Chains A and B, each alone.
Chain A
Amino acid sequence: EADIYQTPRYLVIGTGKKITLECSQTMGHDKMYWYQQDPGMELHLIHYSYGVNSTEKGDLSSESTVSRIRTEHFPLTLESARPSHTSQYLCASSDSWSPGELFFGEGSRLTVL
């Protein structure tokens, strides 16, 4: 079982609020990722990091931001949430020595009213 944790699992907030989705892993993985997934659709990469102080935007444009101050922690922040941000956000990590295998957290389901 993967040691990667996301909080909160579910969040319902009003438009304009600032939110931070937390993601932590205890496997010592250098690479971490945030994916966005809508129901019945494929995962889209929105941010990734290859290590501390390294962050990159993914294929899908997102108004969110991320930071990587510690190896184990990769939080995602939305400064001003909108209904269009309603989605499932999945955090993942990978070991450089196992190409392609992602270890996912349980996900954070965000609903913006």
Chain B
Amino acid sequence: KNQVEQSPQSLIILEGKNCTLQCNYTVSPFSNLRWYKQDTGRGPVSLTIMTFSENTKSNGRYTATLDADTKQSSLHITASQLSDSASYICVVSADHGGSQGNLIFGKGTKLSVKP
């Protein structure tokens, strides 16, 4: 069964600190993996996309990694800001984009950044 598991479920850090969120997946055939940021009461917004051949990608203070062998991805946030408080959702695509019915969502990690 295709699954995406994220850890931790929630995380509280102090402003300015770094943190790393984890995503483990059992999805086949793998097409790509995206990290989304969802602010409270808003829709998710894509942060990064990782394909099979990529192992690191950065978007500002966000750096995503992918290990296709172990089927693990991480999202590292550097020098956290209060505006980073949100849920971060890992989404794995099980095909090559033909059917959106094959998008598998994780439950998300709820990050709270405190002053």
Q: Please state if B107 and A100 are interface contacts (CB–CB under 8 Å).
A: no
- Complex Cα distance A48/B99, Å? 10
Q: Indicate whether A106 sits within 8 Å of B100 (C-beta atoms), given known contacts A42-B105, A100-B31.
A: no
- Complex Cα distance A2/B43, Å? 10
- Complex Cα distance A31/B91, Å? 17
Q: Indicate whether A104 sits within 8 Å of B43 (C-beta atoms), given known contacts A40-B107, A42-B105, A42-B107.
A: yes
Q: In the assembled complex, which residues on chain B have CB atoms less than 8 Å from the CB atom of A56?
A: 101
- Complex Cα distance A41/B31, Å? 24
Q: Please state if B97 and A48 are interface contacts (CB–CB under 8 Å).
A: no
**Stretch in A14-22, A63-71, A79-87, A88-96 with 4+ CB within 8 Å of B:** A88-96
Q: Mark A55-75, 1 if CB is under 8 A from B, else 0.
A: 010110000000000000000
Q: In the assembled complex, which residues on chain B have CB atoms less than 8 Å from the CB atom of A45?
A: 100-101, 103
Q: Mark B85-115, 1 if CB is under 8 A from A, else 0.
A: 0000101010011001101011110100000
Q: In the assembled complex, which residues on chain B have CB atoms less than 8 Å from the CB atom of A98?
A: 97
Interface size class of A (residues with CB under 8 A): 20 to 34
- Complex Cα distance A104/B38, Å? 10
Interface size class of B (residues with CB under 8 A): 20 to 34
Q: Indicate whether A106 sits within 8 Å of B43 (C-beta atoms), given known contacts A96-B97, A99-B97.
A: yes
- Complex Cα distance A96/B45, Å? 18
- Complex Cα distance A44/B108, Å? 13
Q: Indicate whether A40 sits within 8 Å of B93 (C-beta atoms), given known contacts A101-B49, A107-B43.
A: no
Q: Indicate whether A102 sits within 8 Å of B106 (C-beta atoms), given known contacts A94-B100, A96-B97.
A: no
Q: Please state if A48 and B101 are interface contacts (CB–CB under 8 Å).
A: yes
Sort A-B residue pairs by CB-CB distance and give the 9 closest, nearest first: A99-B97, A104-B43, A100-B93, A42-B105, A42-B107, A43-B105, A100-B32, A101-B46, A104-B44
